[in-house]
C-alpha cells in the first residue's frame, strides 16, 4: 500500500452525467413503488446501469420510506452514501432529507408545502403536486398514488429521461392495462409540461442514452430464486410467512402456476403448503424429502431458529432438503425490513451434536437462479439439508442481471436405488459407505421391493439403519458424516477468485456485499492499492480458499454483521492463516458501500 | 432381511405370510399395551393384504413412537421429532399420496408438545391413520403426568394431577376430523375393526387407544389401567368392516344396521345398539364425549365418521403419479420456456 495514504482520501466518483443518485422520500403505503420502478426501468431501458434500493419500514402505511436509484455510467451497483437529488414527498422527514443533500444537489418538493428555501448551496424545484393529482381526474382514494407520478414527470423533464421509456415501463408495471397506464401517464405528461413552462433548470444533472444494459434483465433475488426452484424441479414447498422471505414463495406460487402444470392433464406437478409455523414447514420438507420429493422452504432468521431441531434431524438421518434464509436484521422482530448477514454462524452449525451444514451464498440474480435449481442437486447428492443464505438486499431489491442460463446438467437425484437395483444387488445397507465418499444409498418409500424398506431415526443407528447404542457404531457414523462433509468440499460451488499479481491484500466477501467490494477495489486501485478478491459462493470452503489465504499476508473478511461471523468460520477453516485474517464489519441495516469498505481497508492496513 | 418361512405358512391375497408383516422384537416393558396394538396392526395389515412396500410408518418421540420398528419390517419408517410427526407425515403424503400412512403417537407426543401439529394435521385432513397410544403418563422419562391424565389421578412421583385432561377425540372433532374413534388395548377385536375402517378413511383417522403403562400407571385407581379399562369400558358403537373387495353376504333387517360408504369402496356396517347413538352426528359425538368426561365414563367405539371432506392431496389436485416419482421431463420446464421468459423480461 502506498505510504501515507489516508482513508479520507477515498471518495465517491464525482457526480455528473449518468453518474448520480436520486432518492424519493415518501410515506409507506402511498404507492410510490410504481413511480420508483417506473423511473428505474426507464433509465435501465435507456442503457444506463442502474440499481434501486428500497429502504422501507416494517409497516403497512404511514412510516417513512426511501427509494434510491443509483445511475452509474461505470456500472457500479452498490449503495452510495450520498444522494444528489432528493424528491421530498414526506412532510415528516423533509427537514432531515434536505439536510442530507450534498452541496450542489437538488431538492424537488410539493409547492403546497411553502418551504423556506434556506440552503443556498442546493437547487430547489417545487411543483403543485396535490393540485396536479386533483386535476388528473383520479378518484380521491387514488390521488395519493398518482401524486407520485408528478416527480416522475419532473425528473423526466429536468434530467432528460426518454418519455417513451417511461410509458413502456408503465405498460409493463400495469401488465398492459390501458386505464391505469393512461391515468398515470397523464400525470407524468402534465408534470413534464408544468416543468417545461414554469421551471428553469439550474443544476448540472442529466442522463444520456448508453448501451450498457442491452440484453440484460431486471429482477429481484427472491423471484430469481423461485424461478430457479421451478427449473430445479421442486415438488413440495412448505413455508410460513416472514419478511423478507415471503415474496420468494409468492413468486414461486406465481411462476409454478404457469410453468409447472402437466401439459396433458393441467394438474400441478408440485404442492405448496402454508404451514402453521416454521417448525411444521421444515417438518413437511423433511417428510417430503425423505419420501423422495424435491422439497424446499424459505424463511428468515427467527424462522430458522425454529427449524433447528428438524434441520439437525435431517442432517443426522440424511434427508435432502433445501432451506432458503433471506437474512434480515436481528433476533425476534429485529429490523425485519433491513438487511444483514447475521445468520451465517447459526446456520453453519444449526442443530445439536456435531453438525455442520452446506451453505450456498448467491451474490447476484444469476446466482440466486442457479442456487434455486443447483441446491436440489447438492441436497440429493449429499443427502443433507442445503441452505441458501440470501438477504433482504438481494431478495427484495431490483438488480440488473444477465439473462439466466439454463441448468447445464440434468437433475442429479443422488444415490437412489430402484426395485431393479435391489434385485440386482440383493439388498442394501442404508448408512454404509460403499463408495468412500461418506454417502450411503437410499430408497424412496413406495419402491416396490421387499428389501427396499429401512428405518429412519434420529436415535443412534448403525450402517444397517438399526437402533444402536454401541460406542463404536455411534462414532463410526459420526466419522462417516465428517467424511461426507469433506466430500461436500469437493462439489460445492467454488469461490470466484481475482488474483492480482503483486497484491498483498486479499479481500474475502460473500453475498450482497459483493457490489460494495467491487467498487471499493476500484477506488483502492485508483489510489495505487492492489487487492486480490475471493468471493465465497459456498461453505464449507474449498481448496481455492486455502490457496488464496496462503498467498495473501493481509486478508480482510468483509461482511454485513457486527461479530464477523464468516471471519470466525474462516479462521477455523484455515487455522494456520487465522492471524492474517482481519474482520471488517458493519451492521446498520443498510447495504455496505464501496467507499466505506475501501476506507475501512486503508484504516486497517495502518493497524497491522 | 427376508425371513425364511416354513413352506406351510398360510398366505394372504398377495401371497404374504403373517411373518412378512412383523417387525423387530419390541424393547418395551413386558405387558405394555403398545405391544398389543402393534400386534393388532400386524394382524390387520395381513388380513387386509396391505402391500407393505406401499405403507409408511411414522412416529414422534416416546414409548409409543418406538413401536413402528416393531411391525411391518417391509415398510419404510420414520421416527421423527417429539410432537412433530404430523408435519413430517404431511410432507411424506404430499410427496407420495398413494402410500398408506400409519402414524403412532402417544398422549404426551400428541396432547402436550404436539397438540398444535395434531390439530393442523387434522384440519388439513392429511390422509393417514393417526394412533394415539394413550396411557396418561410419560414412560421414557419415568412417570410424569401427560396432558390426557384425568383430574385427581395419582402417580408415585408426580403426585396428584389437578388439571383437566385434554381429550384427543374432542380436539380432533373440533378440528373437523372425519374419523374419530376411541378404543382400549385390552379389547383386541374392537381395535382391529377400528383399524381396518380407519385404513379405508379418506383423510386423517384418529384412533385414541387407551394403552396401559404397566410400569408407571397401571395401579388400581388409575383410569388408564387394564383393570379400569376392563371393568369400565362402554362400547357405544358396534360395526363390522366390509373391505371393498368383498361381497356383502349378510343382509340386515331395515332399522338394524346402517351402512357407511368409505372412500375406497369399503363399507362400515353399523349395528344399532340400544343407546341410539349416531356416529354420523358430530354434535352428538361432542356431547357424548363431554358427558363421558363429566361422569368419568370410558366410552369406546367409532365416535364419528364423515367421508365428505377432501384430503390434502385431493385439495392440492396432485397428479396420479406421486410427486416423488415424477421424472425430469415433468418437473423441469424446457430451455425454450426459460429463454422466452428471459426475452420477456428484457
How far, in Å, are A104, A604, B150, B290 from residue B295 at the CA level? Answer: 85, 77, 12, 9
**Partners of residue A390 on adjacent β-strands:** A326
Partner residue facing B120 (CB), from A265, A276, A290 = A276
Is residue B6 a part of any domain in this protein?
A: no
Is residue B12 a part of any domain in this protein?
A: no
Contact pairs from chain A to chain B, CB under 8 Å: 233
Q: pLDDT tens digits, chain B, 346 residues: what are they?
A: 556 656 679 999 999 999 999 999 999 999 999 999 999 999 999 999 999 999 999 999 999 999 999 999 999 999 999 999 999 999 999 999 999 999 999 999 999 999 999 999 999 999 999 999 999 999 888 889 999 998 999 988 889 999 999 999 999 999 999 999 999 999 999 999 999 999 999 999 999 999 999 999 998 889 999 999 999 999 998 889 999 877 666 566 666 788 889 998 999 988 877 678 999 999 999 999 999 989 888 999 999 999 999 999 999 999 999 999 999 999 999 999 999 999 998 8
What is the reported pLDDT for B248? 62
Q: Last residue of a domain, which of A165, A198, A231? A: A198
Same domain, A567 and A479: no
Is residue B342 a part of any domain in this protein?
A: no
> Cβ contacts (< 8 Å) between A285 and chain B: which residues?
91
Same domain, A54 and A184: yes
Partner residue facing B333 (CB), from A259, A265, A456 = A259
- Cβ within 8 Å of residue A30, ≥6 positions away: A61, A89, A144, A145, A147, A148
> Cβ contacts (< 8 Å) between B318 and chain A: which residues?
267-268, 271
Same domain, A17 and A158: yes
Is residue A3 a part of any domain in this protein?
A: no
The pTM is what? Answer: 0.96
What's the mean pLDDT in A18-22? 97
CATH number of the domain encompassing residue B155: 3.40.50.970
Partner residue facing A411 (CB), from B324, B332, B337 = B332
> Cβ contacts (< 8 Å) between A457 and chain B: which residues?
69, 77-79
- If you search the block for the grid coordinates 394435521, which residue do you land on? B121
Is residue A1 a part of any domain in this protein?
A: no
Chain A nearest CA to B344, separation (Å): 9
> Cβ contacts (< 8 Å) between A447 and chain B: which residues?
53
A277 and B91 in contact by Cβ < 8 A? no
Which residue in B has a C-alpha nearest to residue A237's C-alpha?
B91
Residue in A176, A453, A465 to test binding to B, most B beta-carbons within 10 Å: A453
Same domain, A35 and A167: yes
Domain that holds residue A17: 9-198
Q: In whole numbers, what is the pLDDT of chain A averaged over residues?
A: 96
Partner residue facing A283 (CB), from B91, B319, B323 = B91
Chain B nearest CA to A416, separation (Å): 12
Is residue B337 a part of any domain in this protein?
A: no
B298-305 and B233-235: which strand pairing?
parallel
Same domain, A470 and A546: no
Instruction: Take residue B228 and report the three cell numbers written for it.
Output: 379400569
> Cβ contacts (< 8 Å) between B99 and chain A: which residues?
291, 445-446
| Residue that wins the pLDDT comparison between B260 and A248 | A248
A275 and B120 in contact by Cβ < 8 A? yes
What's the mean pLDDT in A508-532? 98
Same domain, A36 and A95: yes
CATH number of the domain encompassing residue A559: 3.40.50.920
| CA dihedral sign, ordered B96, B98, B104, B110 | positive
- If you search the block for the grid coordinates 417513451, which residue do you land on? A164
Is residue B2 a part of any domain in this protein?
A: no
On whether the CB atoms of residues A284 and B90 are closer than 8 A, the answer is yes
On whether the CB atoms of residues B325 and A413 are closer than 8 A, the answer is no
Closest residue by Cα to residue B59 from B2, B3, B133 = B133
> Cβ contacts (< 8 Å) between B75 and chain A: which residues?
445, 453
Same domain, A392 and A438: no
Is residue A414 a part of any domain in this protein?
A: no
Same domain, A480 and A566: no
Chain A nearest CA to B220, separation (Å): 34
**ipTM, two decimals:** 0.95
Same domain, A326 and A397: yes
Which residue in A has a C-alpha nearest to residue B123's C-alpha?
A276
Q: Which percentage of chain A shows pLDDT scores above 90?
A: 94
Chain A nearest CA to B169, separation (Å): 21
Q: Last residue of a domain, which of A351, A367, A401? A: A401
Closest residue by Cα to residue A502 from A524, A522, A529, A527 = A529
A446 and B335 in contact by Cβ < 8 A? no
Between CA A37 and CA A187 the distance in angstroms is: 16
Same domain, A316 and A446: no
Residue B185: burial class (beta carbons within 10 Å; 0-12, 13-18, 19+): buried
Q: Is A480 left (phi over 0), alpha (psi -120 to 50) or beta?
A: alpha
Same domain, A225 and A317: yes
How far, in Å, are A34, A150, A250, A300, A592 from residue A30 at the CA level? Answer: 10, 13, 22, 26, 28
CA B242 to chain centre: 19
Domain that holds residue B147: 18-328
Chain B nearest CA to A517, separation (Å): 27
> What domain count does chain B have?
1
Is residue A210 a part of any domain in this protein?
A: no
Same domain, A86 and A187: yes
> What domain count does chain A have?
4
B88 and A290 in contact by Cβ < 8 A? yes
> Cβ contacts (< 8 Å) between A377 and chain B: which residues?
none
Measured in degrees and rounded to the nearest 5, phi and psi for residue A189 equal: -65, -40
Instruction: Take residue A325 and report the three cell numbers written for it.
Output: 434464509
Q: Last residue of a domain, which of A401, A434, A451? A: A401
> Cβ contacts (< 8 Å) between B316 and chain A: which residues?
268, 271, 273
What is the reported pLDDT for B251? 61
A458 and B81 in contact by Cβ < 8 A? yes
What is the reported pLDDT for B5? 57
> Cβ contacts (< 8 Å) between A262 and chain B: which residues?
319, 330
Which residue in B has a C-alpha nearest to residue A266's C-alpha?
B319
Partner residue facing A287 (CB), from B69, B88, B332 = B88
Residue in B5, B14, B20, B88 to test binding to A, most A beta-carbons within 10 Å: B88
Chain B nearest CA to A215, separation (Å): 6
Is residue A86 a part of any domain in this protein?
A: yes
Is residue A248 a part of any domain in this protein?
A: yes
A445 and B79 in contact by Cβ < 8 A? no
Is residue A212 a part of any domain in this protein?
A: no
A284 and B88 in contact by Cβ < 8 A? yes
Between CA B143 and CA B137 the distance in angstroms is: 6
Amino acid at each position: 500500500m502506498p505510504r501515507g495514504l489516508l482513508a479520507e482520501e477515498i471518495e465517491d466518483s464525482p457526480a455528473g452525467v449518468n453518474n448520480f443518485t436520486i432518492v424519493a422520500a415518501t410515506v409507506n403505503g402511498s404507492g410510490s413503488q410504481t413511480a420508483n420502478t417506473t423511473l428505474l426501468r426507464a433509465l435501465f431501458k435507456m442503457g444506463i446501469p442502474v440499481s434501486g434500493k428500497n429502504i422501507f419500514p416494517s409497516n403497512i402505511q404511514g412510516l417513512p420510506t426511501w427509494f434510491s436509484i443509483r445511475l452509474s455510467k461505470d456500472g457500479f451497483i452498490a449503495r452510495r452514501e450520498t444522494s444528489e437529488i432528493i424528491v421530498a414527498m414526506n412532510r415528516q422527514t423533509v427537514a432531515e432529507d434536505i439536510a442530507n443533500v450534498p452541496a450542489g444537489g437538488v431538492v424537488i418538493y410539493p409547492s403546497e408545502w411553502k418551504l423556506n428555501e434556506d440552503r443556498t448551496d442546493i437547487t430547489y424545484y417545487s411543483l403543485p403536486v396535490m393540485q396536479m393529482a386533483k386535476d388528473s381526474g383520479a378518484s380521491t382514494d387514488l390521488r395519493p398514488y398518482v401524486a407520485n407520478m408528478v416527480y416522475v414527470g419532473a425528473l423526466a423533464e429536468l434530467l432528460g429521461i426518454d418519455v417513451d421509456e417511461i410509458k413502456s415501463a408503465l405498460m409493463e408495471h400495469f401488465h398492459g392495462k390501458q386505464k391505469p397506464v393512461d391515468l398515470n401517464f397523464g400525470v407524468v405528461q402534465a408534470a413534464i409540461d408544468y416543468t417545461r413552462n414554469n421551471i428553469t433548470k439550474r443544476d448540472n444533472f442529466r442522463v444520456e442514452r448508453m448501451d450498457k444494459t442491452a440484453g440484460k434483465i431486471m429482477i429481484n433475488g427472491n423471484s430469481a430464486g423461485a424461478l430457479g426452484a421451478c427449473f430445479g424441479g421442486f415438488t413440495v414447498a412448505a413455508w410460513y410467512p416472514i419478511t423478507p422471505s415471503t415474496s420468494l414463495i409468492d413468486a414461486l406460487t406465481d411462476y409454478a402456476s404457469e410453468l409447472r402444470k402437466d401439459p396433458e392433464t393441467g394438474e400441478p406437478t408440485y404442492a405448496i403448503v402454508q404451514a402453521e409455523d416454521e417448525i411444521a414447514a421444515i417438518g413437511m420438507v423433511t417428510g417430503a424429502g425423505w419420501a423422495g420429493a424435491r422439497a424446499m422452504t424459505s424463511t428468515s432468521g427467527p424462522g430458522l431458529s425454529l427449524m433447528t431441531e428438524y434441520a439437525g434431524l435431517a442432517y443426522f438421518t440424511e434427508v435432502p432438503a433445501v432451506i432458503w434464509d433471506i437474512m434480515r436484521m436481528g433476533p425476534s422482530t429485529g429490523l425485519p425490513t433491513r438487511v444483514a448477514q447475521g445468520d451465517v454462524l447459526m446456520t453453519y452449525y444449526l442443530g445439536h451434536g456435531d453438525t455442520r451444514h452446506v451453505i450456498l451464498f448467491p451474490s447476484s440474480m444469476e446466482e440466486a437462479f442457479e442456487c434455486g435449481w443447483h441446491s436440489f442437486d447438492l441436497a440429493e447428492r449429499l443427502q443433507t439439508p442445503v441452505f441458501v443464505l440470501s438477504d433482504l438486499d438481494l431478495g427484495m431489491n431490483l438488480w440488473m442481471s444477465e439473462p439466466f442460463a439454463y441448468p447445464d446438467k440434468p437433475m442429479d437425484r443422488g444415490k437412489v436405488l430402484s426395485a431393479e437395483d435391489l434385485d440386482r444387488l440383493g439388498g442394501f445397507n442404508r448408512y454404509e459407505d460403499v463408495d468412500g465418499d461418506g454417502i450411503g444409498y437410499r430408497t424412496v418409500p413406495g419402491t416396490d421391493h421387499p428389501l427396499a424398506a429401512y428405518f429412519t431415526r434420529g436415535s443412534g443407528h448403525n450402517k444397517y439403519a438399526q437402533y444402536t447404542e454401541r460406542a463404536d457404531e455411534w462414532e463410526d457414523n459420526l466419522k462417516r458424516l465428517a467424511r461426507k462433509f469433506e466430500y461436500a468440499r469437493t462439489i460445492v460451488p467454488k469461490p470466484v477468485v481475482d488474483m492480482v499479481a503483486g497484491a498483498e491484500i486479499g479481500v474475502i466477501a460473500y453475498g450482497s456485499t459483493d457490489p460494495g467490494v467491487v467498487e471499493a477495489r476500484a477506488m483502492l486501485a485508483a489510489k495505487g492499492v492492489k487487492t486480490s478478491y475471493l468471493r465465497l459462493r459456498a461453505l464449507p470452503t474449498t481448496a481455492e480458499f486455502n490457496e488464496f489465504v496462503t498467498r495473501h499476508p493481509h486478508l480482510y473478511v468483509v461482511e454485513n454483521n457486527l461479530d464477523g461471523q464468516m471471519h470466525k468460520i474462516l479462521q477455523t477453516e484455515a487455522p494456520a492463516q487465522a492471524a492474517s485474517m482481519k474482520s471488517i464489519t458493519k451492521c446498520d441495516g443498510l447495504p455496505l458501500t464501496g467507499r466505506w469498505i475501501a476506507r475501512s481497508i486503508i484504516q486497517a492496513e495502518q493497524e497491522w | 432381511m427376508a425371513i425364511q418361512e416354513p413352506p406351510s405358512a398360510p398366505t394372504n391375497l398377495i401371497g404374504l405370510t403373517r411373518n412378512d408383516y412383523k417387525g423387530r422384537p419390541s424393547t418395551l416393558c413386558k405387558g405394555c399395551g403398545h405391544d398389543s396394538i402393534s400386534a393388532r396392526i400386524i394382524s390387520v395389515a395381513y388380513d387386509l393384504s396391505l402391500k407393505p412396500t406401499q405403507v409408511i410408518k411414522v412416529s414422534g418421540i416416546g414409548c409409543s413412537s418406538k413401536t413402528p420398528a416393531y411391525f411391518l419390517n417391509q415398510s419404510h419408517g420414520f421416527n421423527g421429532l417429539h410432537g412433530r410427526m404430523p408435519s413430517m407425515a404431511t410432507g411424506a403424503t404430499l410427496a407420495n399420496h398413494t402410500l398408506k400412512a400409519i402414524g403412532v403417537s402417544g398422549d404426551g407426543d400428541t396432547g402436550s408438545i404436539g397438540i398444535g401439529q395434531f390439530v393442523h394435521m387434522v384440519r388439513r385432513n392429511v390422509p393417514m391413520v393417526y394412533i394415539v397410544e394413550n396411557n396418561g403418563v410419560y414412560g421414557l422419562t419415568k412417570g410424569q403426568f401427560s396432558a390426557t391424565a384425568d383430574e385427581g389421578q395419582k402417580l408415585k412421583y408426580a403426585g396428584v394431577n389437578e388439571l383437566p385432561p385434554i381429550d384427543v377425540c374432542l380436539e380432533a372433532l373440533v378440528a373437523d376430523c372425519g374419523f374419530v374413534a376411541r378404543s382400549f388395548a385390552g379389547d383386541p377385536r374392537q381395535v382391529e375393526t377400528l383399524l381396518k375402517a380407519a385404513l379405508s378413511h379418506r383423510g386423517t383417522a384418529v384412533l385414541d387407544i387407551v394403552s396401559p403403562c404397566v410400569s408407571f400407571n397401571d395401579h388400581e385407581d388409575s383410569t388408564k389401567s387394564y383393570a379400569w379399562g376392563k371393568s369400565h369400558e362402554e362400547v357405544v358403537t358396534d360395526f363390522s368392516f366390509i373391505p371393498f373387495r368383498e361381497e356383502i353376504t349378510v343382509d340386515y333387517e331395515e332399522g338394524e344396521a346402517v351402512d357407511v360408504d368409505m372412500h375406497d369402496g369399503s363399507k362400515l356396517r353399523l349395528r344399532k345398539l340400544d343407546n341410539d347413538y349416531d356416529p354420523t352426528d358430530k354434535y352428538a359425538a361432542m356431547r357424548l364425549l363431554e358427558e363421558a368426561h363429566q361422569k368419568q365414563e370410558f366410552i369406546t367405539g367409532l365416535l364419528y365418521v364423515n367421508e365428505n371432506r377432501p384430503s390434502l392431496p385431493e385439495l392440492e389436485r396432485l397428479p396420479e403419479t406421486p410427486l416423488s416419482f415424477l421424472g425430469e421431463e415433468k418437473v423441469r420446464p424446457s430451455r425454450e420456456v426459460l429463454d422466452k421468459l428471459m426475452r420477456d423480461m428484457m
